[in-house]
Amino acid sequence: MKYQELYDELTSGTVSRGLRRWVLCLLDDIAAGRSPIKAVRHPLGFVCLPVERGGENGVCVHLWSGELRRAGRTTSDVHCHSWDLVSYILYGQVRNEIATVDDDGAATHRVLEVVSAGDVDSISPTGRLVRYIGGVSGTYGAGEVYSLPAGVFHRSVIPEGTETATIALGSGRAGASDLSLGPLDTRPHRVTRQRCDDEETARAARLAAEHMART
């Protein structure tokens, strides 16, 4: 399935069983080495299987698991995308917290701009200082869909000990930037995303398939 097919499916109000079969076939192919997809450890704490990247649209499977090694993080987990998100929970649970970011009052964080080129994220502090207050959360479980427009600060929280996987659809929005909140004294730096080897990629796909089989 391609981006538009998945988008139409996830926004139709009823997700068919065919989507689940497609995901299982995809995971089986990755686990067996029949797919060129290689997993990436994302700085926000999940393992990403990049399924489709084309133009402004993309499809990924995101995995949060205590059995998979995570990348280190140099910013906070509060961020906003330059793209509109549609997310479908395959199993587990996601709490999506919409952050309240106040430009007035005593600053707690600096806004950072993240520019990605290939595997490298260039992180640049901006002059914008904000106060992070927290926000309103929505909790989503297996079979549920949520969406988030570009430019909204948020964070995704996975309950401790909960294995979770999602299908994430992204559609770039012209003029929007990828931003994150970081310490006030954050300096410019670069982060290279860690690509998993064949064995790690296959293991991630097998774990996801096994969890799906149990739900």
Question: 93-102 and 120-141 as β-strands: parallel, antiparallel, unpaired?
Answer: antiparallel
| pTM metric for this prediction | 0.93
Alpha carbon distance 5, 15 (integer Å):
12
Torsion from C-alpha of 190, 193, 194, 196, nearest 10 degrees: -170
Q: What is the CATH number of domain 3-213?
A: 2.60.120.10
pLDDT tens, residue order, the chain (215 aa):
899 999 999 999 888 889 999 999 999 999 999 999 999 999 999 999 999 987 889 999 999 999 999 998 899 999 999 999 999 999 999 999 999 999 988 999 999 999 998 889 999 999 999 999 888 889 999 999 999 999 999 999 999 999 999 999 999 999 899 999 999 999 999 999 999 999 999 999 999 999 998 87
Integer-rounded Cα Rg, in Å, for the chain is 17
